[in-house]
Chains A and B, each alone.
Chain A
Amino acid sequence: MAYAKFTPEMKKTYTILAPNMLPIHFHLLIRILEQFGYHVVLLESTSRTVVEEGLKNVHNDTCYPALLVVGQFMEALKSGKYDVDHTALLITQTGGGCRASNYIHLLRKCMAEQFPQVPVLSLNFAGLEKDCSLELTPALCLKMVYAVLYADLLMTLYNQCRPYELNEGESQQVLDAWQEKLPKLFESNKFLSAEKIYTQILKDFAAIPRSKKPKIRVGIIGEIYVKYSPLANNHLEDFLISEGCEPVVPTLLEFILYCAANSETNSHLYDYKNFKTLAFGLGYKFLHSKQVQMIKAIQKQGEFTPPHDFEDLRRAADKYISQGVSMGEGWMITAEMAVLAETGTENIICTQPFGCLPNHIVAKGMARTIKNAYPNANIVAIDYDPGATRVNQENRIKLMLANTKMEQENQV
């Protein structure tokens, strides 16, 4: 299929639109891309038109994230806000055996019919779409990794402060301040001083006056887009906070480590080695060391719960499912359920697009095993799609919370 390509010259004059999957992370990432000369705009629209455009433009049985992403792009292009002759779209791709690898094709199909001049750029680490992907220079990659780390820390701390803050809005203020400060650090090599920056961030969040009264911790896991995107999950984090809970959301680095680890797992399972497995192996070691560094920094500060060490996740997975299950979020979802339950976050919401294929296996399929291992675990799988209503979803979550509150009362 012929489609518009993104040429280097376009960098100067084009506006690149990107979906906002994870607000904190993506805001930081686009600022970094800007430093590399790309003009990127995050799409924030949550209007009903997004869903309608999605329904019109992709097969309605396609998973919800695809529908939303495509819908959001189409809405933006039709809004008149952007000069469609100087606009490109950016989308991520993992290249696994799941439908998600097809998002870019769905998008190109829509473009070919309605905006043939708009190029669709791929952001991937699997070497796909070589002729139309974001050029990943080592410098850009390094900065992106650090951006993810800082954003992970911000998200983790923010989620641990906001439910407990005594003065409403303070956590948001600290977050906003760092969102402004961080991009500046990336202008020079200062961003490399991770430990120093971690300490400062931790200090700022620790300074927020917080209530000591414990709240119910609720883990949010599942398909990556639905898990993170407020547009897709009907502002799940806000809802949980309003219900008096503390949302526990796994970091983005976990997903990146998962992708890197799978290459190694496959090489071990299927008994082969090549350049790619070697490169991914090294990448994994580097990223993991960075994760450990962050965990240590949080532990040193002492007031906050750090993310789970990825090696712990892998060990947890081995008890319940093979790490060979690597499509979609694969074994990681099972492992996250186990680790959360093990570390006292017994309420777990597993978010997924309606009819998500891998999640039949790794989420709904494993819930029973996890429940057998941790009888106190409350796992609820929530489906998201254009027809599922919020009242239905929230009702199920409320039921789970009612359960927990009752158990707590019984213990008292």
Chain B
Amino acid sequence: MLETQKIPYALGIDVGSTTVKTVLLTEMGEVLSSSYERHFSKVRETVCTKLASLAQEYPDVQLRVSITGSAGLGLAQAAGLPFVQEVHAAFLAVKRRYPEADVVIELGGEDAKIIFLTGGVEQRMNGSCAGGTGAFIDQMATLLDVSVDQLDKMAQAAEKVYPIASRCGVFAKSDIQPLLNQGARREDIAASIFQAVVDQTVSGLAQGRRIAGNVLFLGGPLSFLQGLRNAFTRTLELDEEHALFPEDGRTFVAYGSAVSASSLTDTYTLTELEELLRNAKTQTALVADKPLFSYPEEYQRFQERHAAHDVARGDYRTYAGKAYLGIDAGSTTTKIVLLSEDHKLLYEFYASNKGQPLDCIQRELSALYADLSPDCQICGSAVTGYGEDLIRAGLGVDFGIVETVAHFKAASFFCPEVDFIIDIGGQDIKCFQIKNHSIDSIMLNEACSSGCGSFIQAFAVALGYDIAEFSKLGLFAEHPVDLGSRCTVFMNSSVKQAQKDGATVEDISAGLSGSIVKNAIYKVIRARNPEELGQHIVVQGGTFLNDAVLRCFEREIGHDVIRPAISGLMGAFGAALYAQEKSTGTSTLLNPQQLQEFSYTAKAATCKGCTAHCALSVIRFNNGGRFISGNRCEKGAGKKESEQLPNLFEWKYRKILSLEQENQPAEPKATVGLPLALHYYDQMPLWHTFFTELGFAVKFSEESTRGTYYKGQSTIPSDTVCYPAKLTHGHIESLLEKGVDFIFYPCMSYNIDEGDSDNHFNCPVVAYYPELLMANCEKLNHNNFLYPFLDLNRRGHVVKTLSTIFSRYATKKQVETALEHGFAALEQYRKDITAEGEEIVRQAREAGRQIIVLAGRPYHIDPEINHGIHKLIGSLGLAVITEDSVAHLAQTPELQALNQWTYHSRMYRAAKYVTTQPDMQLVQLVSFGCGIDAITTDEVRRILETGGKLYTQLKIDEISNLGAIKIRLRSLIAAMEQTQGQKQTEPETA
């Protein structure tokens, strides 16, 4: 063979984040063999095994080689073999095989790439925050508890598509979960998941550049998921001729790598190659930790210590006496316990609810009833968790209890002096600090870091293990690898890097446990040092059943903690204890007969009560009852508007909107468009008055909806900027649609100086967004978009600048007068806000209601930005006022930050004021991605906590997890009531 082979063969090896692909080409460039297999993080072994088997088949072949792929770089470097960047490899393959292609879309395990070939070659990859695509689909399949293939089949039977955020798996989950809970068809959800991937690729990656012509689709997911293919071709409106799906889409990049190899010089035999790779020394840039346990006895002692925290057991089939039922209807799992009078655990149940909590509990209760001892009497029942209201309404459960309180009850049972509880579940992390036997502060994970338990599980599955087996592997890992402590998407890359550096599966398993712990302690709890947490810590939640996580946690905080043996059941256990406490002796829980007959129907509906258009789910029980969920305010639940409490958020929003109709000139000189975005939510009265006085007709952009966002999505250049800024793009489109003569949107480094602060800047995004709009919205030009730089504190300059711009329409004097009136209108608006605020406070005090200062930025009054949180607060029986209605009532307290932004400065003063009012609490709204709030949140928290108040922060983005927000608010209310109660019983001298 050697004699006949004049030109060497070419081998391409593509090592991706999850798979290894090889393609061997003959000297003529024909494919001799190709392969595709998962490497389960054993990168080098998989490649070597593959080479060894090829070597048997082609023992004497001389070949050139090139390695590509995200995990291939380290391998190539270590072995001294050529490497080609994967997008470039794809490019070479396309040029060879599909010279007619105009655009290439490649989705991989974690990368999404686009190559534009005609009209200027351009290659793009997803940014570091834009969650992977293959990984994203895997994650979603796990959430639906189906395989990826099943997901694909389901998608093909879909009837409708829901909007789902695909930027990051975490966000998507929050969109999907409510849909599941509302009984949306799983087929439709499957299709929606694929559609989300398409939307992300089209808008996120292409960023305004059109995908048209012959489009070539590559990569694993696109070669085996028909549903995904359909979604792409449908969205891009491609016919069969223009949508190219190569047979070998999965190995296409390896093919390109082989093409690249054929232009190189060095040749090898397969055996030589295999040896080179096997013996290559990978540099270890790994940061490794000490092993979790050095020897088996150490682990044994650890196990024994924790085994001590258990409850006594009994048997529900033989028990005689009173019993209490506790149900924890979590977002993804359902937990049920039955307790005896003396707290023996008679029955326990823990399982995934597969998105159908009601069915799951009905089924499980029936099973319980079937074997329940006839002498056992259920004398009380309580339910907690996301599904609380639904389960209570449907199954006649006696009591509902806030999740946090349930956990506290359970923890106190195991450790009466508990001062800190941390619960890491499948989807969320909850921590609460206990002071004076009541919950003092609550910390929940933000939208971004909800990695938690399901995240280890997803990794385990991806690496080919089941979760229990996978976490055990980590216990005796020799070098647990440091993977950082960020969100899942980043974690994926860290794992990729660790794999590249030669970390073993054991090391990765131990490292992931460490990441979860660090994420919880430093990102969610924000502890500076572990001592802050407390002395008596109870850990719970399913994730802590994992010994590796528990060990990492104890090590990180430096002392032992208590993990109850029923760590996963604590919510239900607490609910059962609560049921016992409150029991009247009998229970309204459906009896076996009623349960047998129980059934329900779920119907999706859209609430038309207001512009929030809440997606409602209407559940009708066969006994005539009805339950509505998904509503933010009481209107959706069928109550009348008059029952709604006055709400300053709502008032401000209506006030701004109503301006548009006022003072419109009969014969306008021209029409000016003002976007309902960012600082306009604060300054609209000024500019509206200014323009109408000068004789312009004023048009506002449309009220924000998700649709507004989609309208401008393709012109957003930075996917990590805050949602309020992103919405601005849609508002510009909206104004252009309305046909205004020009849009006026000034740049403002400085806001208005309201005194009592070090400086009065706007944040960089608010200050300069018009510059960005001008540069990215193609339809804007210097005639239809006016964005002068203004400093409103220097009136002379403002008059001069504006009178130059509008010299065609008005004299300098007119401009000056109009501006004066504008400022007067703004001042009046401010007065109106404070007056309305005072009125709301007065009414609330009269009615004995607690008051929440919902503090954020002026633009947080936009319902698309605040997701109706203010209504949710109202529905819980609290009055809502804004930070700018009380800021003037207090002096800025001493700060540990530079107080240099006007909007933030208001929050500091508002927080200070709240500390002087016994019936007020402050809730801070923070937009995801707001860098400045990294500073203000710490300060507002400090001001409030120093003043003896609770700090509650709600992070909001494109989507929002209202379920989690509700729990937080209810916990806040529970704590407020408790403090109120204590105050009333305490003598005044305290």
B493 interface hit (Cβ, 8 Å): yes
Complex contacts, A354 vs chain B, CB 8 Å: 128-129, 720
Identify the closest chain B residue to A358 (Cβ): B764
| Given A322-B747, A388-B490, A402-B84; A59-B529 close (CB under 8 Å) | no
Most buried by A among B85, B494, B776: B85
CB <8 Å contact, B775 and A391:
no
Complex contacts, A60 vs chain B, CB 8 Å: 522-523, 526, 934
Assembled-state Cα–Cα distance A355/B720 (Å):
6
Assembled-state Cα–Cα distance A361/B721 (Å):
9
Name the contact of B931 in the complex, choosing from A269, A356, A388 (C-beta under 8 A).
A356
Complex contacts, A324 vs chain B, CB 8 Å: 747, 749, 789
CB <8 Å contact, B87 and A399:
yes
B954 to chain A minimum Cβ distance, whole angstroms, is 15
Assembled-state Cα–Cα distance A324/B771 (Å):
10
Complex contacts, B775 vs chain A, CB 8 Å: 320-321, 365-366, 368-369
B797 to chain A minimum Cβ distance, whole angstroms, is 4
CB <8 Å contact, B761 and A97:
yes
Taking CB atoms and an 8 Å cut-off, the chain B residues in 119-148 that contact chain A are 120-121, 123, 125, 127-129
Complex contacts, A86 vs chain B, CB 8 Å: none
Assembled-state Cα–Cα distance A320/B895 (Å):
38
CB <8 Å contact, A360 and B91:
no
Specify the main secondary structure of chain A where it touches its partner: helix
* Stretch of B149-157, B479-487, B646-654 contacting A (4+ beta carbons < 8 Å): B479-487
B901 interface hit (Cβ, 8 Å): yes
B762 interface hit (Cβ, 8 Å): yes
CB <8 Å contact, B528 and A59:
no
| Given A1-B895, A365-B772, A396-B125; A59-B717 close (CB under 8 Å) | no
CB <8 Å contact, A56 and B529:
yes
Name the contact of A395 in the complex, choosing from B85, B207, B526 (C-beta under 8 A).
B85
Complex contacts, B769 vs chain A, CB 8 Å: 361
B764 to chain A minimum Cβ distance, whole angstroms, is 4
Q: In the complex, given contacts A97-B900, A272-B794, A365-B772, what are 4 additional A-B residue pairs having Cβ atoms less than 8 angstroms apart?
A: A62-B931, A97-B764, A269-B797, A406-B88
B109 interface hit (Cβ, 8 Å): no
CB <8 Å contact, A390 and B931:
no
A306 interface hit (Cβ, 8 Å): no
Taking CB atoms and an 8 Å cut-off, the chain A residues in 298-324 that contact chain B are 320-322, 324
Complex contacts, A63 vs chain B, CB 8 Å: 931, 934
A392 interface hit (Cβ, 8 Å): yes
CB <8 Å contact, B73 and A61:
no
A9 interface hit (Cβ, 8 Å): no
CB <8 Å contact, A97 and B762:
yes
B180 interface hit (Cβ, 8 Å): no
A113 interface hit (Cβ, 8 Å): yes
Taking CB atoms and an 8 Å cut-off, the chain A residues in 341-367 that contact chain B are 354-362, 364-367
CB <8 Å contact, B768 and A325:
yes
Q: Mark B500-542, 1 if CB is under 8 A from A, else 0.
A: 1000000000000000001000110011110000000000000
Name the contact of A271 in the complex, choosing from B764, B796, B933 (C-beta under 8 A).
B796
Q: Mark A85-125, 1 if CB is under 8 A from B, else 0.
A: 00000000000011101100110111011000000000000
B22 to chain A minimum Cβ distance, whole angstroms, is 20
B929 interface hit (Cβ, 8 Å): yes
CB <8 Å contact, B749 and A360:
no
A328 interface hit (Cβ, 8 Å): yes
A375 interface hit (Cβ, 8 Å): yes
Complex contacts, A396 vs chain B, CB 8 Å: 125
Complex contacts, A56 vs chain B, CB 8 Å: 522, 527-529
A386 interface hit (Cβ, 8 Å): yes
Complex contacts, B91 vs chain A, CB 8 Å: 402, 406
B938 interface hit (Cβ, 8 Å): yes
A148 interface hit (Cβ, 8 Å): no
Q: Mark B765-807, 1 if CB is under 8 A from A, else 0.
A: 1011101100110000000000001010010110011000000
23 A/B residue pairs, CB under 8 Å, sorted by A: A59-B526, A59-B934, A60-B522, A61-B934, A97-B761, A97-B763, A97-B764, A105-B898, A108-B896, A266-B749, A270-B794, A270-B797, A322-B747, A324-B747, A327-B761, A357-B765, A360-B718, A360-B764, A360-B765, A383-B127, A389-B496, A399-B123, A403-B123
Complex contacts, A204 vs chain B, CB 8 Å: none
B937 interface hit (Cβ, 8 Å): yes
Name the contact of B493 in the complex, choosing from A97, A108, A392 (C-beta under 8 A).
A392
Which residues on B are within 8 Å of A, measured CB to CB?
70, 73-74, 84-85, 87-88, 91, 120-121, 123, 125, 127-129, 207-208, 285, 287, 482, 484-487, 490-491, 493-494, 496-497, 500, 518, 522-523, 526-529, 717-718, 720-721, 725, 747, 749, 759, 761-765, 767-769, 771-772, 775-776, 789, 791, 794, 796-797, 800-801, 894-898, 900-901, 929, 931-935, 937-938
CB <8 Å contact, A357 and B123:
no
Assembled-state Cα–Cα distance A182/B579 (Å):
79
A349 to chain B minimum Cβ distance, whole angstroms, is 14
A390 to chain B minimum Cβ distance, whole angstroms, is 7
| Given A97-B767, A327-B767; A399-B934 close (CB under 8 Å) | no
Name the contact of A394 in the complex, choosing from B73, B529, B794 (C-beta under 8 A).
B73
| Given A59-B938, A60-B522, A354-B128; A387-B490 close (CB under 8 Å) | yes
Complex contacts, B129 vs chain A, CB 8 Å: 354, 383
Assembled-state Cα–Cα distance A326/B767 (Å):
10
CB <8 Å contact, B768 and A61:
no
Assembled-state Cα–Cα distance A112/B894 (Å):
14
Most buried by A among B123, B500, B765, B771: B771
Assembled-state Cα–Cα distance A113/B518 (Å):
21
Complex contacts, A399 vs chain B, CB 8 Å: 85, 87-88, 123, 125
CB <8 Å contact, B493 and A328:
no
CB <8 Å contact, A389 and B497:
yes
CB <8 Å contact, B797 and A272:
yes
Name the contact of A99 in the complex, choosing from B88, B287, B496, B935 (C-beta under 8 A).
B935
CB <8 Å contact, A327 and B764:
yes
CB <8 Å contact, A367 and B764:
no
B662 to chain A minimum Cβ distance, whole angstroms, is 31
Complex contacts, B800 vs chain A, CB 8 Å: 271
Complex contacts, B765 vs chain A, CB 8 Å: 357, 360-361
B809 to chain A minimum Cβ distance, whole angstroms, is 21
Assembled-state Cα–Cα distance A399/B91 (Å):
11
Complex contacts, A389 vs chain B, CB 8 Å: 484, 490, 493-494, 496-497
CB <8 Å contact, B763 and A383:
no
CB <8 Å contact, B749 and A97:
yes
Assembled-state Cα–Cα distance A389/B491 (Å):
9
Assembled-state Cα–Cα distance A99/B85 (Å):
36
A337 to chain B minimum Cβ distance, whole angstroms, is 12
CB <8 Å contact, B487 and A327:
no
Assembled-state Cα–Cα distance A365/B725 (Å):
12
Assembled-state Cα–Cα distance A272/B750 (Å):
15
A276 interface hit (Cβ, 8 Å): no
CB <8 Å contact, A395 and B70:
yes
CB <8 Å contact, A367 and B528:
no
CB <8 Å contact, B776 and A365:
yes
| Given A101-B898, A365-B776; A387-B485 close (CB under 8 Å) | yes
Taking CB atoms and an 8 Å cut-off, the chain A residues in 45-101 that contact chain B are 48, 55-57, 59-63, 97-99, 101
Name the contact of B764 in the complex, choosing from A357, A364, A386, A398 (C-beta under 8 A).
A357
CB <8 Å contact, A99 and B932:
yes
Complex contacts, A113 vs chain B, CB 8 Å: 528
Name the contact of B486 in the complex, choosing from A270, A321, A386 (C-beta under 8 A).
A386
Identify the closest chain A residue to B721 (Cβ): A360
CB <8 Å contact, B717 and A403:
no
CB <8 Å contact, A375 and B128:
no
Taking CB atoms and an 8 Å cut-off, the chain A residues in 369-412 that contact chain B are 369, 375, 381, 383, 385-392, 394-396, 398-399, 401-403, 406-407
CB <8 Å contact, A395 and B494:
no
CB <8 Å contact, A368 and B717:
yes
Assembled-state Cα–Cα distance A55/B91 (Å):
40
Assembled-state Cα–Cα distance A217/B703 (Å):
48
Complex contacts, B207 vs chain A, CB 8 Å: 368
